Structure 1
Amino acid sequence: MSGNWTEQHIPDQRGRVAIVTGANTGLGFETARMLAAHGAAVVLAVRDVEKGKQAAARITGDVTVQALDLTSLDSIRSAAADLRATHPRIDLLINNAGVMYTQKQTTADGFELQFGTNHLGHFALTGLLLDRLLPVPGSRVVTVSSTGHRIRAAIHFDDLQWERSYSRVGAYGQSKLANLMFTYELQRRLAPHGTTVAVAAHPGMSNTELARNAPAALRVPLTWLAPLLTQKAEMGALPTLRAATDPAVVGGQYYGPGNRGEIRGYPKLVSSSADSRDQAAQQRLWTVSEELTGVTFQR
């Protein structure tokens, strides 16, 4: 494709069902808005239903709201049951929701909050909805990662929940590295089916609420530098939208902003760290994730 990939390149989405997690604000909202504008039936899967309804009211098109708290496996199972009952087919599952640089906290199931929300919650949701995606040719699972997957990032198999010591930045890096490793291993498992693909994306540095939990030492510089470094949420959503809708996308790819440093710019195919490509670690993470969530994927 020549030129910059923009919202105008999104193909007609009529007849397609898209579920977007964390869609009541920021990148998720813009992703949902643009999909609905091109004809998709969009489900805003959000923790705060009232905020979700307010967001839905600002979107033109076929938009519904589904309660989903990614910090609770019970909520994930309940949401998946609702979605399965309502939607016999799903074309797009966009794992967008996330938390960043939070203080040490745990989910309802005892997982470190960033790892539990960003990775394990989406792992479980995907597994519980996969049989609604597999029969649909051209269906996709898009998981949003971050350039943070390179920063102090490793999968700490000896202390996944950061019980011995805690680093906000390190825990975020682990969760975003896990997003990529999940995508690559999922694609390997989906390939024999020939219908569904797994793709990853990242928004660069976008002007959203995600960094509100950053340490004070980072929060002040980020506030001052935001106008210079970040891009608007509608631009930050474009890599996800390209991963979700571009007919040329191939499973296992990773999209991000195309300018130097992948901070901003129009979406292009980008690369990820060597750690994210470690197949043995991907498979080990998959096994551990199944054990922790109790969700086993259809083969």
Structure 2
Amino acid sequence: MARTLVITGGTNGIGLVLARHHSERGDQVIAIGSSPSGGDRLRREAPEARFVQADLSSVKQTNELTDHLLSAHPAIDALVLAAFRYHPSRTETGEGFERTFALYVVNRWLMSRALRPALENAPAPMILDLCGVGGVKASKIHWDDLQLERGYRPFKATMQGARAAELLATAYAADPVRYVLYNPLFVATGLSEPFRQPVRGLVKLASALFAQPVSKAVRPMTALIDNPPAAPLSAYVRGKPTTLTTDPAAARRLDAAIRDLVSPFTA
């Protein structure tokens, strides 16, 4: 039976390969990307999938996107949150959000919450959130400086996003939607692009030597999409279950903090 999948970051890397796999199998795939060139790439490599262009770091555009998706697709079987971009220096969106926080944290919050009614209309709905769960233990929420206005570092921003994913999934998880946090670790997806030389060359070399091919990396993900876990919330690292350290109080705190941050743009 054909299903409906929405994939953010669906025009590049892991998202693109998932879009191709599921559209070739007959599922209805809506792949979200930020650029026309990404749409062209999707049409070449996954012509059965549908491209929707949106700047997912924008609260306004994300709200418009989710309104459109809810109208066009009353039932959504799977939401894959794969959009991510590494920012070597701190920049802000036009709405005043630090860009890593906007894409890695705020967008995931908005997409998962807004599309919940359509997910709940599906027979076995699930969210697959590609994040850094089970990774570096130093990841934490900087409660007094969520958008890292003081002492921004790209690794620090990324690790905060990884911890935020765990907390926001904890705040979200409840029947019938299955929420799966998934860390693919090192995958060959053009990781070197944001860096300048000589770091770019070193990352390219490391990718060639150690990164897992995308075609192999997505296999456990497609298996989870096909057969969501029984638990409302679960976590995996490279296909293997991992222990998730939940903190309900912190989860509620972060959920409320993001709700307050986006409220001026959602009235």
Confirm or deny a common fold (TM above 0.5): yes
Paired position in structure 2 for 1:281: 250
Paired position in structure 1 for 2:110: 124
Q: How much identity, in percent, do the aligned residues show?
A: 22
Change (3 A) 1:53 1:219: closer
Change (3 A) 1:92 1:147: closer
**Offset, 1:151:** 5.5
Paired position in structure 2 for 1:6: none
Deviations along 1:17-52, one digit per CA (max 9) or x if unpaired, are 000001111010011111112221000111113422
Query: Of 152, 155, 160, which aligns to 2:141?
Result: 155
**Offset, 1:148:** 8.2
**Offset, 1:108:** 2.4
SS at 2:128 equivalent: strand
Paired position in structure 2 for 1:7: none
Moved more, 214-223 or 111-120: 214-223
**Offset, 1:149:** 5.0
Partners of 2:214 and 2:36 lie apart in 1 by: 21
Change (3 A) 1:218 1:33: same
Deviations along 1:80-139, one digit per CA (max 9) or x if unpaired, are 122122111111111110012431111222111111111101211222211111122211
Q: Please state if 1:15 is matched with 2:2.
A: yes
Q: Please state if 1:66 is matched with 2:35.
A: no
Change (3 A) 1:74 1:56: same
Deviations along 1:62-90, one digit per CA (max 9) or x if unpaired, are x1111221111111011112212211111
Partners of 1:149 and 1:107 lie apart in 2 by: 27
**Offset, 1:289:** 1.2
Q: Please state if 1:46 is matched with 2:33.
A: yes
Q: Indicate if the aligned counterparts of 2:178 and 2:228 stay in contact, CA closer than 8 A.
A: no
Q: Please state if 1:137 is matched with 2:118.
A: no
Structure 1 unmatched ranges of 5 or more: 1-13, 258-266
Partners of 1:50 and 1:224 lie apart in 2 by: 26
SS at 1:253 equivalent: strand
Taking the TM superposition and a 5 Å limit, the aligned residue runs for 1:163-242 are 163-187=149-173, 190-191=174-175, 195-214=176-195, 218-242=199-223
Letter in 1 for 2:255: W
**Offset, 1:147:** 5.5
Q: Deviation above 6 Å: which 4+ runs of structure 1?
A: none
Letter in 2 for 1:287: A
Taking the TM superposition and a 5 Å limit, the aligned residue runs for 1:74-89 are 74-89=60-75
Structure 2 unmatched ranges of 5 or more: none
Moved more, 219-228 or 17-26: 219-228
Partners of 2:119 and 2:228 lie apart in 1 by: 17
Change (3 A) 1:291 1:67: same
Q: Indicate if the aligned counterparts of 2:192 and 2:201 stay in contact, CA closer than 8 A.
A: no
Paired position in structure 1 for 2:42: 55
**Offset, 1:181:** 1.7
Change (3 A) 1:15 1:224: closer
Partners of 2:42 and 2:75 lie apart in 1 by: 24
Partners of 2:241 and 2:198 lie apart in 1 by: 33
The TM-score normalised by the length of structure 2 is 0.90
Paired position in structure 2 for 1:28: 15
**Offset, 1:213:** 2.3
The TM-score normalised by the length of structure 1 is 0.81
Corresponding pairs, count: 264
Taking the TM superposition and a 5 Å limit, the aligned residue runs for 1:106-117 are 106-117=92-103
Partners of 2:127 and 2:113 lie apart in 1 by: 11
Change (3 A) 1:148 1:180: same
Partners of 1:45 and 1:220 lie apart in 2 by: 29
Change (3 A) 1:155 1:133: same
RMSD: 2.2
SS at 1:212 equivalent: coil
Q: Indicate if the aligned counterparts of 1:151 and 1:170 stay in contact, CA closer than 8 A.
A: no
Change (3 A) 1:46 1:141: same
Partners of 2:209 and 2:110 lie apart in 1 by: 37
Paired position in structure 1 for 2:240: 268
